[in-house]
Amino acid sequence: MILLFLIFLSYSSVISSTTLPYAEWAHYHMIWISNDRSNQTNVQAMFDGYNNHHIPFGALNIDSCWASNFNTFIFNSTLFPSPREMLDGFRAKNTRIILWMTSFINTDSPNFQFAQDHGFLFNKTLKWWHGQGRLLNYLNQQAVDWWNNQIKTLIDTVGPIHAFKVTHFHIYIYNSRVWVWLIERLHTRTHTHPTPLGSCGHVHTRARVRA
């Protein structure tokens, strides 16, 4: 026991004297709300509820349906009519803001055709839980620059975004039917009814608010 205590003290001193390779707030309590209830009114109410009850947290994630499509990096104006005002309020309370994303661009997204015409996407349409789309080709520097410019436009519009929650699209890169089957089965279990994957209106059996 004494040995373990000494190791702990030694490890703690190393950590405290070394700059971490990531932001400290990455370890803070993060809150978010399920997609079926994710809109400006409910996200604001969740934020206010935590603050009014003095429950500490450091980051707030807005889940997948915040954008107008997958992935436009433009807020859905119906669900979030004034995102800048809302996010400014969060930042004023020193809350870090996280937005959900993947590397898919859906075939019905307004930026899909531009990306397709310029060779920014892998040449295979895949079915995933939010529709059908193609993956961004990160090996193409022009594609990466275009992707980053959309994120820059988002930040210029709504203010600083501290991080993106990148969901597990890698199973489709593996091209493994077993992986795809497994993740879709796990995803289906989080829904009240066995409805087809892909809609932002799904009713979840549990609110995704994590400690």
pLDDT tens profile 121-150: 998 898 888 899 999 998 899 999 999 999
**What pLDDT is recorded for position 1?**
47
Q: Which helix (H) or strand (E) holds 127?
A: strand 126-128
Whether the CA torsion 126, 128, 132, 137 is positive or negative: it is: negative
- Contact of 62 with 99, CB cutoff 8 Å: yes
- The residue among 126, 120, 116, 136 whose CA lies nearest residue 71 is 136
CATH numbers and ranges of domains, the chain: 25-188 (3.20.20.80)
Stronger pLDDT, 5 or 141, i.e. the higher one:
141
Count of CB atoms situated within 10 Å of the CB of 46: 19
Cα 78 to its chain centre, rounded Å, is 19
Average pLDDT over residues 17-41: 83
**What pLDDT is recorded for position 64?**
86
44/107 Cα distance (integer angstroms)? 31
